[in-house]
Structure 1
Amino acid sequence: MSQVQSVERTLSILEILSAYPEGLSIANLSKELSLAKSTVHRLLSTLMTNGYVQQDEQTGHYRLGIQCLVLASSLLNQLDIRKVAKEALHILAKSSGEVVHLCIHDRNEVVYIDKVESDHTLRMYSQIGRRALMHCTGVGKALLSGFTEEQIDHLIAEKRLAKFTETTITNKANLQKELREIRDRGYAIDEQEHEKGIRCIAAPIYDHDGNVVAAISIAGPADRVTNERIKEDLAQAILTQSKQISAKLGYIKK
């Protein structure tokens, strides 16, 4: 087994375990990886020794270790956009009373890098570090507004336009129409396209070169985050904060 293959298999273990917070047995890991249990055990032993994997004493299942959190925290602290946007997120959460997100895109997916909870208890898909598809989320569509047509074609070829609800955009023509509207008005709306009953408004963040590098959103139950409320209040609020964040990153609208 080459060193490169060992690294690839080790990374595969970490990626698989990240999807199972409750952990996995070595048998299930072996099945997922299509590797012998003995091979998986050797790799797990190395990861456990270095703190990247831990084993539940009661179930015997393996899950991610504390060292993964250390690395993740270090990476997030290096993302200056989180520091720059922090005040704006809290302002929006306080003024709207809803959940506010900060996201970036990576490998044609949305990655949630910060989140400010509202005073209302609401269980949502999002959590820091989690990924989502771009075509069916407000933040995703806000990020896509900065994509070229070639990038859009690559996204569709790689990720497809999966349907999650009755309002999910599932074809290129409708997605392109939606993105044109987002560019014109400056914000995106997730019309319950990923989670039924959840509506959100999102706006892109620009860097000093005019590139869309992040997006912020306000999300909540559709009966609270109504289209009327978006037009009367939330749209202006999120545009104000997105522009301020962009300005702090050196963006000057021409």
Structure 2
Amino acid sequence: MSQVQSVERTFSILEILSKYPEGLSIGKLSKDLELAKSTVHRLLSTLMAKGYVQQDEQSGHYRLGIQCLVLAGSLLNQLDIRTVAKEALHTLAKSSGEVVHLCIHDKNEVVYIDKVESDQTLRMYSQIGRRALMHCTGVGKALLSGFTQEQLEELIVEKGLPEFTETTITEQADLDNELRTIKARGYAIDEQEHEKGIRCIAAPIYDHDSKVVAAISIAGPADRVTMERVKGDLAQAMLDQSKHISAKLGYINN
């Protein structure tokens, strides 16, 4: 058996076992691979020695080992959200003609970590590294949709719900209702809540643990980013790209 053929068969074993969390017998593996049991046993022995496969003592079935999880964890930890999201940000900026942001939360605040400029005029103070409160921004509310009730209450105690414009949410009951709406439809709207004249649509980004780890937004002047646009083409584009980024991070939407 050539070295390349051996590698291919080894990966085939791992791919098959990944579909059977309860494990498979060597007989079933041999049948699926169309290989002799002796060949499969030899490959399994090597994989077991390295920790990529383990054998159940009672059933004798083989299943994926802990080392596969170690590798997967290392890969997921290396994923840079900015690199992963870059293509989607440019796609949104091009299709919408507006400014697009990528944000994370830190110390109960929004942090802007990437930005794709619009080729149109926009009077909006935003720059990479800027911080903002969460209750009054589209990205902030998208991030808050992943908070537990306890986390939300801790944020309110620490930061309060200060008013920036007449549309800013300043009551916890209203914020609770807003977050329920965001979870149901999949995106948040900043209805000129932080800056008068600026409207945003934002969506959360999920990781492989189904946790909200970031948010993306499209922002522009309210007379250009109309509610009709927000609930129409912008909402669909936002949902498509947020799902695309989340999938790259290993999120599986059941």
Residue 123 in structure 1 maps to residue 143 in structure 2: no
List structure 1 segments (4+ residues) > 6 angstroms apart after TM superposition. Answer: none
The whole-number CA distance in structure 2 between the counterparts of 1:248 and 1:230 is 25
Number of the residue aligned with 1:105:
105
Q: Which amino acid aligns with 1:145?
A: S
- Counterpart residue number, 1:48: none
Q: Partner of 2:40 in structure 1? A: none
Q: List gaps (5 residues or longer) in structure 2.
A: 1-77
2:215 corresponds to which residue? 215
> Percent identity between the aligned chains?
83
Alignment-derived partner of residue 173 in structure 2: 173
Compared CA separation, residues 114 and 79, structure 1 to 2 (3 A): farther
Which structure 1 residue ranges, 5 or more long, are not aligned? Answer: 1-77
Alignment size in residue pairs: 177
Distance 1:246 1:162 in 2: 31
When residues 130 and 79 of structure 1 are mapped into structure 2, their CA distance, relative to the original with a 3 A threshold, is: farther
CA distance in 1, matches of 2:130, 2:89: 18
- State the TM-score, normalized to the length of structure 2: 0.69
Give the residue type in structure 2 aligned to 1:143: L
Read off the aligned partner of 1:216 and give its amino acid letter.
I
Letter in 2 for 1:156: I
Residue 199 of structure 2 is matched in structure 1 by 199
**What is the match of residue 134 of structure 1?**
134
Match for 1:115: what amino acid? Answer: K
State the shift of 1:228 in Å: 0.4
CA contact (8 A) 2:98 2:220 kept: yes
2 CA distance for matches of 1:161 and 1:227?
24
Match status 1:92 vs 2:104:
no
1:53 is matched with which residue?
Answer: none
| Structure index of larger Rg | 2
SS at match of 1:119: coil
- Counterparts in 2 of 1:79 and 1:164: CA distance versus 1, 3 Å: farther
Cα RMSD after superposing both structures: 0.9
- Match for residue 183 of structure 1? 183
Secondary structure of the equivalent of 2:173?
helix
- Once the two structures are TM-superposed, the CA of residue 123 in structure 1 deviates from its matched residue by 2.6
SS in 2 for 1:100: strand
How far off its partner does 1:121 sit? 2.3
Q: Which amino acid aligns with 2:239?
A: L
1:170 match: secondary structure: coil
Give 1:124 deviation, angstroms. Answer: 1.2
Amino acid in the other structure paired with 1:110: V
Pairs within 5 Å for 1:18-57: none
Tell whether the 8 Å contact from 2:79 to 2:249 is kept in structure 1 after alignment.
Answer: no
* Structure 2 match to 1:24: none
